[in-house]
Amino acid sequence: MRKAFLATAMAAAVALPTAAMAQDDTIKLGVLVALEGAFAEGGKDSVRNVELALQQHDFMAGGKTIEYVVAPSDTTPDTAVRQARKLIEQDGVDIIIGPLSGSEGIAMRDYAKTIPDKTVINGISGALETTWVDPADNFFRFNLDGAQWGAGLGTYVVEEKGWDRVATVAADYSFGYTNFLGFAVDFCRAGGEIVERFWVPLGSSDFGGVIAAMPDDIDAIYLGVGGTDAINFLNQYRQAGADTNLIGGTIMADQTVLTSRGRAKQALIGTPTSGALAEDNPDPAWQDYVQAYQDAFPEDERFPTPSLFGVGYYIATLAAIEALNQVDGDLGNGQQAFQEALANLSLETPLGTVELNENRQASGTVYINEVQEGPDGNLVNVMVGKKEGVNQTLGMTPEEFRAMGLPSRDTPDCEALAASAG
Amino acid sequence: MAVFDTTEPQTAGAGADRAWWERIPAAWWALLALLVVLPAFANDFVLFQVMGWTFILGMIALSLMFLAGYGGMVSLIQMSVAALAGYMVAIFGTSGMAELSMGLPWWVYIPVAIVIAAIFGTIVGALAVRTEGIYTIMITLAIASAFFYFTRQNYAIFNGYSGFNLVVPPQLFGVDWRQPVPFYYLTGAMALVCYLAVIYVSRAPFGLVLQGIRDNPRRMAALGYNVTAHRIAAYTFASVIAALGGILLVWQNAQIAPGTAGIPAVIDILVIAVIGGIGRPIGPFIGALIYVLLRTFSPDVLTAIGFEGERFKLLVGLGFLALVFWSPDGVLGMWDRWRAGRARAGDPLTGKGGQ
């Protein structure tokens, strides 16, 4: 009887998924996205945006019908690879769109090498290493990485704000390092000086020690933490009576912080940040996209404007559709023609034109925003500038960039950068 | 103590005369044969992902079942022990993080990984055995979460948030053990070895003493047994099983990161053991199979019946809730009750008609 139970379970395992291998006139997309954990809301927005991009093209590309399967992950690399394997081996998808978070991206880069005749288009994961260290030939990333998102901010604070001595407080993990590196490279080359670096564990609640140790003679504090960590820091910072200027990392001044309760967030007014998008970007491509997003979903089932995660998946889906159109849906011969089309794509996106480099990593625009008080007293991000054509090596030669080292607590070396730029 | 759970009622004398293979019921041989020939008709995904993962999780849950079922100690440290063994394989063996991995040969790093994990498990056991019940759960959970945060913060040894990637099994005897069929047989064989080891130990004097300690520690102490030493030794034995599972897990994922032993993963092992039933060693494997099937296919089931796939956790949770509600002692308990019901179904006067 136990045998019968096991046999039934196994039969279920074999038979359950509607063994839908892609037919000749159908192309299957697998959407690998975090639907559990800290990014679950962003993950849901990602699925909406894939749907939106496909709707806009009537679920057709290259003369073939496009279907998609969602594989939920929980932001751990283990689960991401498991789910990717399920998409490829069980659901029989042709193209994977995803993943969402940094360490998943690195794991997917390695997994992609084991499936050379399939294609992975990154969702929104932003680890530098994914397309910089030993990249996979069939892994394409149409969003900027975490370091690129920091570019432009340093020049802006030095030249527009006149802040050239900063202390930094950033999250002690890979995205914290990477995003900080983008800011620091730009900042140091523009003549700024980093007086002291503080690294705080992800999920910190006590910043008292950091705030007490903060040097006095600084123009601003770079704050590379996000979510509840940022709110905790701002609360304690205010209570300590400190009122230095702030500079924000990419995830610092997002909606979770701006809409938090309490007065601590008032400290944020006038804080510049940089990132992949600006909500009030006047560019018609962005405005049209936001309009389409708002029209496609009822107000209580979406964010007011598309989230960073959503935009990433939207652009990745656009890239897949565009490349499929160019090759007339031909995925034969190990998807060679398709992958070549992707690599040479010059993609018009809501965030401007995106092109890939030899590592299949996007170069594009970084937006500089500043937190301001809106008409009804709440805080909003206002676009104050943008830097176009930011590439993977942040304007350096690949040799210089490689010599600087991978992002870590002590990389980049600010003085060396200032010397080489000066 | 019917560990093999022989399905036919038999007298002790009759059983002793028969050869050992005759004492194992035919159903078990059929199950084994089914598992051996499974690669002939199952696809790679089922072999590698579903069955491979089932065997691995089953082994880790088996180590918990040994502690909880025979020793009465519910330990939440087993996943951390497994992950530590996986980390050791990555650190002493080869990985994509060449500057942190030592690149030693497999016959060095596998024993080293098992020994280090066993030492870790033993130390945790030594701390935990002086407590009972919920306090054991608390102390092991505390150490498990400390392990998670430590691996996430420590860059010098554990490479922090990113962990290690490209950790693959050695190419032994010219076989790529990460191919689906070899990996299926590798995990299956290891699971069988661990299963038989647990059965053997549970019937050996050590296991009998352990069960005695579970039922009445004071009486066992009065009989002259060292209760603490037996409990710690049980942790050591369970750690070796968990370590084997952890090594296979890191090979299957080809990478290891702090999330591998995060709090959800630690709890999942407990859930697997409870679902399957901690009465007998087969329970954890049944639990693992159910868990893997739910984890893998619940989004498809939801989509098929018209719900949003992103609510897949709902189905997983409801499944577990239902099982625990109707059968607190897991699938094994359900099965036992069903069999008992069948046996009673006979005519109460004549005794005929029952099984």
Checking if the pLDDT of A3 tops 90, the result is no
Residue B224, in any domain of the structure: yes
CB nearest B49 (choices: A16, A78, A82): A82
Instruction: Please state, in angstroms and rounded to a whole number, the distance separating the CA atoms of residues A175 and A407.
Output: 9
Q: Are residues A186 and A313 in the same domain?
A: no
The nearest CA of chain A is from the CA of B126 a distance in Å of: 30
Indicate which CATH number applies to the domain containing A409: 3.40.50.2300
The tokens of A413 are what? 């070396």
Q: Quick check: is A25 in a domain?
A: yes
What is the pTM (predicted TM-score) of this model?
Answer: 0.81
pLDDT of residue A295: 93
Q: Are residues A31 and A131 in the same domain?
A: yes
Return the number of CB contacts < 8 Å for A and B: 134
Longest dimension (CA), chain A: 79
Residues 6+ away with beta carbon under 8 Å from A89: B43, B44, B45, B48, B49
B270 CA: distance to closest CA in chain A (Å): 19
Same domain, residue pair A339 and A265: no
Subunit contact A18:B313, Cβ cutoff 8 A: no
pLDDT recorded at residue A231: 85
pLDDT tens digits for range A353-412:
899 999 999 999 999 999 988 887 778 889 998 898 899 998 888 888 888 888 888 888
- Residue B296: the pLDDT is 84
The answer to whether the CB of A225 falls within 8 A of the CB of A249 is yes
Q: Is residue B300 less than 8 Å (CB to CB) from chain A?
A: yes
Is there a domain that residue B116 lies in? yes
Question: Quick check: is B20 in a domain?
Answer: no
Instruction: Please classify residue B308 by burial: count the beta carbons closer than 10 Å to its beta carbon, then call 0-12 exposed, 13-18 middle and 19+ buried.
Output: middle
In this structure, the answer to whether residues A287 and A388 fall within a common structural domain is no
pLDDT at B2 over 60: no
Position B145 scores a pLDDT of 92
Say yes or no to pLDDT of A204 above 80.
Answer: no
pLDDT at B41: 83
Please answer whether residues B287 and B331 qualify as being in contact, where contact means their C-beta atoms are separated by less than 8 angstroms. Answer: yes
Task: Tokens for B145, please give them.
Answer: 């979460």
Same domain, A122 and A159: no
Nearest to B34 among A7, A110, A173 (CB): A7
Whether residues A386 and A355 share a domain: the answer is: no
CA of A75: how far to CAs of A40, A82, A83, A251, B324, in Å?
Answer: 9, 12, 11, 17, 28
The more confident residue out of A75 and A68 is A68
Same domain, A49 and A129: yes
Of residues A158, A218, A220, A162, the one with CA closest to residue A190: A158
Minimum distance, in Å, between the CA of residue B216 and any CA atom of chain A: 32
pLDDT tier, B4 (very low <50, low <70, confident <90, very high otherwise)? very low
pLDDT for res B348: 59
Q: At B234, which CATH number? A: 1.10.3470
Q: Domain for residue A13, yes or no?
A: no
Q: Is B284 exposed, middle or buried (0-12, 13-18, 19+ CB in 10 A)?
A: buried
Q: Does some domain include residue A10?
A: no
Q: Is residue A11 part of a domain?
A: no
Claim to verify: residue A220 and residue A345 sit in the same structural domain = no
Q: Which DSSP string do the residues of B174-219 spell out, in sequence order?
A: G--TTSHHHHHHHHHHHHHHHHHHHHHHHHSHHHHHHHHHHH-HHH
The pLDDT tens digits for A79-120 are 899 899 999 988 899 999 989 888 889 889 989 988 999 999
Q: Are residues A32 and A80 in the same domain?
A: yes
What average pLDDT does the segment A17-39 reach?
73
Q: Which of A78, A179, A411 to mutate to test the interface with B (most CBs of B within 10 A)?
A: A78
pLDDT band at residue B29 under the 50/70/90 scheme: confident
How high is the mean pLDDT of chain A? 86
Look at residues A360, A384, A408 and tell me which one is the last residue of a structural domain. Answer: A360
Are the C-beta atoms of A145 and A127 separated by less than 8 Å?
A: yes
Chain A hits for B254, CB-CB cut-off 8 Å, are: 81, 110-111
pLDDT tens digit sequence for A221-257: 999 988 778 888 888 888 888 778 999 998 887 777 7
Show residues of chain B in contact with A72, CB under 8 Å: 299, 309-310, 312
Q: Which residues pair with A200 in a beta bridge?
A: A171
Distance from CA of A279 to the nearest CA of B (A): 27
Mean pLDDT, chain B, as a whole number? 84
Number of domains, chain B: 1
Q: What is the mean pLDDT of residues B35-47?
A: 82
Q: How many CA atoms lie within 13 A of A122 on its CB side?
A: 32
Pick from A43, A85, A106: CB nearest B165: A106
Q: Would residue A3 count as lying in a domain?
A: no
Encode pLDDT of B159-218 as tens digits: 877 788 888 888 778 777 878 888 899 999 999 999 999 999 999 999 999 999 999 989
The answer to whether B38 contacts chain A (CB < 8 Å) is: yes
Domain assignment of residue A4, yes or no? no
**Model pLDDT, residue A21:** 45
pLDDT at A18: 42
Task: Report how many domains make up chain A.
Answer: 2
- Helices marked H in chain B: 12-17, 20-23, 26-37, 44, 52-65, 71, 78-92, 106-128, 133-153, 180-203, 205-215, 217-222, 227-253, 263-276, 282-304, 312-326, 330-344
A6 in any annotated domain = no
Q: pLDDT confidence of A78, banded at 50, 70, 90?
A: confident
pLDDT top residue among B42 and B21: B42
| Residue in chain B lying closest to A76 (CA) | B259
Contact B49 A90 (CB under 8 A): yes
Q: Which pLDDT score is estimated for A226?
A: 80
Quick one: A128 and A140 in the same domain? yes
Q: State the smallest CA–CA distance between residue A350 and chain B in angstroms.
A: 27
The beta-carbon neighbor of B162 closest among A2, A10, A106 is A106
Q: Which has more confidence, A198 or A173?
A: A198
Q: Is the pLDDT of residue A2 over 60?
A: no
Which domain does B182 fall in, by range? 42-344
- Domain region containing A229: 148-275+365-421
User: What pLDDT does A95 receive?
Assistant: 94
Residue B62 has pLDDT above 90, yes or no: yes
Q: Is B227 helix (H, G, I), strand (E, B) or coil?
A: helix
Whether residue A204 sits in one domain with residue A288: no
Contact residues, chain A, for B284 at CB < 8 Å: none
B78 pLDDT higher than 80:
yes
Closest partner CB to A103 (pick from B31, B161, B262): B161
| pLDDT score, position A182 | 92
Return the pLDDT at A7.
Answer: 52
Contact yes or no for A86 and B313 at CB 8 A: no
Tens-place pLDDT, residues B341-355: 877 766 656 656 554
- Residue A8, in any domain of the structure: no
Query: Among A360, A389, A407, where does a domain finish?
Result: A360
Q: If DSSP states are collapsed to H, E and C, what string results for chain A?
A: CHHHHHHHHHHHHHHCCCCCCCCCCEEEEEEEEECCCCCHHHHHHHHHHHHHHHHHCCCEECCEEEEEEEEEECCCHHHHHHHHHHHHHHCCCCEEECCCCHHHHHHHHHHHCCCCCCEEECCCCCCCHHHHCCCCCCEEECCCCHHHHHCCHHHHHHHHHCCCEEEEEEECCHHHHHHHHHHHHHHHHCCCEEEEEEEECCCCCCCHHHHHCCCCCCCEEEEECCHHHHHHHHHHHHHCCCCCEEEECCCCCCHHHHCCCCCHHHHHCCCEEEECCCCCCCCHHHHHHHHHHHHHCCHHHCCCCCCHHHHHHHHHHHHHHHHHHHCCCCCHHHHHHHHHHHHCCEEEECCEEEEECCCCEEEEEEEEEEEEECCCCCEEEEEEEEEEEECCCCCCCHHHHHHHCCCCCCCCCHHHHHHHHC
Residues B114, B106 contacting (CB under 8 angstroms): no
Residue B12 in domain: no
Choose the closest CB to B304 out of A18, A110, A129: A18
In angstroms, the separation between the Cα of residue A108 and the nearest Cα of chain B is: 10
Interface contact B152-A202, CB threshold 8 A: yes
- Shortest Cα–Cα distance, A86 to chain B (Å): 7
Task: Give me the mean pLDDT over the B1-14 stretch.
Answer: 44
**Same structural domain for residues A39 and A122?**
yes
CA atoms within 13 A on the CB side of A72: 27
